Structure 1
Amino acid sequence: MFCSLMRTVRLAVLTGRRSRAAQELRRPVGAGPQPLGRDLELWYRAAVPSGLRAFSPAATGCWRCGASPEPSSFFCPSCRALQPPDRRLDYFQLLGLPRRFRLDVERLRESHRRLQRALHPDNFGRSSETERRYSEEQSALLNEAYAALLRPVSRGLYLLGLELPDERLAAEDEAPADDPAFLGAVLELNERLAEAESQASIQRVAASVEQRLRELDEQVGRAFEQGRPRHARPLLQQMKYWNSIGDRVKELLLPR
C-alpha cells in the first residue's frame, strides 16, 4: 500500500499534479506490507541535491547483510533493512534542505512529514527489534531537527553553531546589555504594556513587536548570507527578547 501510495505521489509530482500528490499524502497509512524504502529513496534523490544527501552511517556496511552504503540510504540498498541515524549529518542535511537561515517553512513541513511517514515506528511493529529501535531513533531525530529549524530563533542559533563550531555561544539568558537602543526600545514597550488599558492599545504593542521581529529576521538573514555569522549573534539575542515580549502580549490578548 505504501509503495503504491508513493508511486502515485512521485508520478503526480513529475507530471506537475502537485495538488493530487498532496491529497494522496494526507491519506492514513493502514495495515499492510512493511515499507521497503525504495520509493522514499527515489523521492529523496529527486528532491535533494546530491551534496546534501544522507549516507549510511555504518562504515562496514549494512548491519544486517553487510552491503555497501550508497547515497540517501535510509534503507539498505540490498536487503532493504532500515539503517541507524547518521549522526554526522546536520539537521538541514537530514531533512534535505539547504543550509541557510531563510527557509521555506512549507517545504520544511513537507519534508518532515514525508520522512516521518516512512520512518515512523508505527511502520515497523512487525519488524525486528533492531529495526524498531532504529525507527524510534530516526523518528526522534527527525522531530528534533524539525523543532530546531521551524522557528527563526532556534534555527539561527543552530546555524550559528554550525558556522562557528569552535566558539562558545552566549548563554541563553544573556542580555545584549551593551546596546542602548535595544534596551531603550524594550523599556518603552514594557511601559506601554503596563499602561495599556484596552485591547486596541495592546494590539498596537503587538504590531510593534511583530514589526521589530520582521526587521531582525531580515537582518539575521543578510548576516548569514553575507558570510558574517558573528554579526547574527547579537541580533538573535535580541530576537529572543522580542519573542518573550510577544508571548506576554499574546497572553494579554487572550479572552478573559
Structure 2
Amino acid sequence: MNRTKKLWKPFCQVAHRALPSTSRFKLSNYNYNFSTQIYFLDCTSSSRIQNPSLYCGLCYYFEILKFSGRSFCSESAEKASNATCWNCNEAPKAAPFLFCESCRSVQPVDHSVDYFQIFGLGKKYEIGNEKLEGKYKDWQKRIHPDLVHSKSEKEREYAAEQSGRVIEAYRTLTNPLARAIYILRLEGVEVNEDETVSEPELLMEIMEIREAVEDAADSQTLKEIQSQMQEKLIHWGNSFADAYQNRNFDEARVCIRRMTYYHRVNEEIAKKL
C-alpha cells in the first residue's frame, strides 16, 4: 500500500520529472468504430464475449485535452423501409423486426431501431448485463450467418449485417463508457473531439497516476491502482446516470471525460499484468 502513495506526490515533482519544456497534454481520437468482421462467433458457447478495447490514446502532457467520438454512428437517422417481410410479405409479429417468424428469414437492418430496442430495453443508462447476454444469444440463434449459408446471397448479406449490428450493440451496451457515449448520441448530444478541457487538478491527478503505474515494482501494486481506478469508474458512472436522468448533458460529458481517463489507465495496467 505504501507504493500507492506515489499517486499523491506534489505536482511540482511530477511536472519536473514528467514534462518536457515544450509539452502538450492531449487526448487523441477516441473511437467506437467497432468492427463487424467477426460475425462467425459460436453463439452456442457459454463464454462471454469480452468487451472491445476502447483505446483513447492518452498522452500525459500538460496543455490541451481533446475527446473524440466521431466514428460512433447515430442510430436515429433512418426510417424503416419495409413494413413487411421482404421474403413472404407478412407483417412483423413483434418488434424489433430482425427476423421473420413466419418464413424464418433474416430481415435487412433497420437503422431507426436503436441498440436498446434490439435488446428489448428502455433507453436508460443503468442496465443489467445478464439480460443482455441472454438476449444476445437468442438473436444469434436466429440471425447468425452460419444458419443461412445455403440461402440466397441477399439473405446471407442481411444475416451478416444483422449479426454484426447485434454484436456491436451488445459490446456497446455492456461497456459503461461506450454506453454513456451512445445514449448521449441518441439524445443528439455530441462529445466533441475538439473540446478543450482545462482542469488542472484532473491533469495533475492523471500524471501522478501514470507515474505510479510506470514505477510500480510488482503486480500487486498494479492491481491496487487498478482497483482504485475501478472505484473511480463506478463513481463517475453513477454520476453520469444522475446527470443523464436530470437531463444535465453538460455534466454528463464531464463524467464521460473522467471515465475515459480512468478506463485508459486500467487498459495500460492490463498490458503490464
- Into which bin does the TM-score normalised by the smaller protein fall? 0.5 to 0.7
Gaps of 5+ in 1: 1-24, 28-55
Match status 1:190 vs 2:214 = no
* Matched residue, 1:4: none
Residue identity matched to 1:130: K
* C-alpha deviation, 1:213, in angstroms: 1.3
Distance in 2 of aligned mates of 1:182 and 1:146: 31
Q: What residue ranges of structure 2 are gaps of 5+ in the alignment? A: 1-43, 47-78
The DSSP-based 3-state class of the residue aligned with 1:89 is: coil
Q: Matched residues in 2 for 1:194 and 1:61: separation?
A: 58
Q: Is the 8 A contact 1:85 1:134 kept in 2?
A: yes
Q: Counterpart of 2:161 in structure 1: which amino acid? A: E
* Matching residue within 224, 227, 236 for 2:247: 227
- The answer to whether the Cα contact below 8 Å between 1:81 and 1:131 also exists between their aligned partners in 2 is yes
Change (3 A) 1:202 1:76: closer
Structure 1 or 2: more helix by fraction: 1
Secondary structure, aligned partner of 2:126: coil
The percentage of aligned residue pairs carrying the same residue is: 27
Cross-structure match for 2:88: 65
Cα 1:188/1:131, change in 2 over 3 Å = same
Change (3 A) 1:181 1:83: same
Match of residue 40 from structure 1: none
Residue in 1 aligned with 2:116?
92
Structure 2 match to 1:16: none
Shift of 1:176: 6.3
Question: Aligned ranges for residues 99-248 of structure 1 at < 5 Å?
Answer: 99-163=123-187, 165=188, 167-171=189-193, 177-248=197-268
Whole-angstrom distance in 1 between the partners of 2:149 and 2:219:
51
Q: Secondary structure at the match of 1:170?
A: coil
Tell me if structure 2 keeps the 8 A contact 1:176–1:237: no
Greater RCO, CA 8 A, separation 6+: 2
SS of alignment partner, residue 67 of structure 1: coil
Number of equivalenced pairs: 197
Structure 2 distance, partners of 1:111, 1:125, is: 23
One-letter amino acid of the structure 2 residue matched with residue 247 of structure 1: E
TM-score by length of structure 2 reads 0.64
Secondary structure class of the residue paired with 2:90: coil
Q: Flag the 1:68–1:114 CA change in 2: closer, same or farther, 3 A.
A: closer
Q: CA 1:126–1:232 in 2, change beyond 3 Å: closer, same or farther?
A: same
> Please, what is the CA RMSD of the aligned residues?
2.5
Q: Distance in 2 between matches of 1:142 and 1:85?
A: 10
Q: 1:7 matched to which residue of 2?
A: none
**Whole-Å separation in 1 of the counterparts to 2:196 and 2:134:** 36
